[in-house]
């Protein structure tokens, strides 16, 4: 194992050296020019390959969210930090609330449109819901007269703070996964 992997293993104790090596292999595939970092163009190419069509501004916003050192690109330790967030099974309510802020769009602060929440649950994250599953989950929330949901309520229900879970564990996992994807820029 390289010194870099050893150093990252000490920093990210919840990841194995094998996982870090796999992340390095993925990183190297995305870093097409071999420059040691992922540029906005390389991230956009990856997203296109995955069928995700993002505007230049969206890609730049994703880079900015991940780029801790301000270089304008994602280096390997920053990549590992994002990947390790995605593989953690547990999120705090404040983390999920922060992630859902990404989906507010034109809705007032603290709210999300029903349609945007359904889209997030069916589009983002590693555990995507079907349209039917997402609509079932969202139907158990109480939108206001203009179709807006206070996502703090959604997070409260999803995170199981004493309320009965609104849907299957898969639905809650998908919601957490979508929130994580949002936190890392989709």
Higher pLDDT, 67 or 110: 67
> What is the distance of C-alpha 151 from the center of its chain?
16
Q: What average pLDDT is seen over the chain?
A: 78
Using CA atoms in the order 12, 175, 98, 30, what is the torsion angle rounded to 10 degrees?
50
pLDDT at 88 (0 to 100): 47
- Using a cut of 0.85, tell me whether the model's pTM lies above it: no
125-179 per-position pLDDT tens digit: 666 778 888 887 777 777 788 888 887 766 766 655 443 333 334 445 556 566 6
Beta-carbon count within 10 A of 123 CB: 14
CATH topology of domain 93-183: Recoverin; domain 1 (1.10.238)
Give the span between the Cα atoms of 186 and 84, in whole angstroms. 15
pLDDT at 181 (0 to 100): 61
CA terminus-to-terminus distance, the chain: 31
Q: Are 83 and 164 in contact (CB under 8 A)?
A: no
pLDDT at 185 (0 to 100): 55
6-36 per-position pLDDT tens digit: 999 888 888 888 889 888 988 998 899 999 9
- For a pLDDT cut of 70, what percent of the chain falls above it? 74
Least confident of 36-40, 106-110, 161-165: 161-165
Q: Looking at 32-83, which runs of residues are DSSP E strands?
A: 37-38, 74-75
DSSP designation for 74: E
Q: Please count the residues of the chain.
A: 186
* Superfamily name and number for 3-87: EF-hand (1.10.238.10)
In angstroms, what CA-CA distances link 13 with 9, 38, 80, 84, 176? 6, 24, 12, 10, 22
Residue span(s) of the chain under CATH 1.10.238.10 come to 3-87, 93-183
Q: Is the pLDDT of residue 49 over 90?
A: no
pLDDT at 159 (0 to 100): 59
- In terms of C-beta distances under 8 Å and separation of at least 24 residues, what long-range contacts does 32-41 make, across chains too? 36/75, 36/76, 37/71, 37/73, 37/74, 37/75, 37/76, 38/73, 38/74, 38/75, 38/79, 39/72, 39/73, 40/72, 40/73
| DSSP secondary structure of 92-117 | -HHHHHHHHGGG-TTSPTTEEEHHHH
Q: Are 146 and 140 in contact (CB under 8 A)?
A: no
């Amino acid at each position: 194992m390289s010194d870099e992997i050893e150093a990252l293993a000490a920093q990210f104790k919840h990841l194995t050296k094998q996982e870090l090596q796999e992340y390095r292999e993925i990183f190297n595939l995305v870093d097409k020019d071999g420059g040691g970092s992922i540029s906005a163009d390389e991230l956009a190419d990856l997203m296109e390959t995955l069928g995700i069509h993002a505007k230049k501004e969206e890609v730049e916003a994703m880079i900015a969210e991940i780029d801790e050192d301000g270089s304008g690109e994602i280096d390997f330790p920053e990549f590992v930090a994002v990947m390790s967030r995605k593989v953690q099974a547990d999120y705090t309510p404040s983390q999920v609330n922060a992630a859902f802020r990404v989906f507010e769009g034109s809705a007032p602060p603290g709210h999300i449109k029903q349609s945007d929440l359904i889209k997030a649950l069916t589009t983002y994250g590693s555990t995507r819901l079907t349209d039917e599953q997402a609509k079932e989950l969202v139907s158990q929330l109480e939108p206001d007269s203009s179709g807006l949901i206070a996502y703090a309520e959604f997070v409260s229900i999803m995170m199981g703070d004493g309320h009965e879970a609104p849907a299957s564990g898969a639905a809650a996992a998908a919601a957490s996964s979508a929130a994580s994807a949002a936190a890392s820029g989709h």
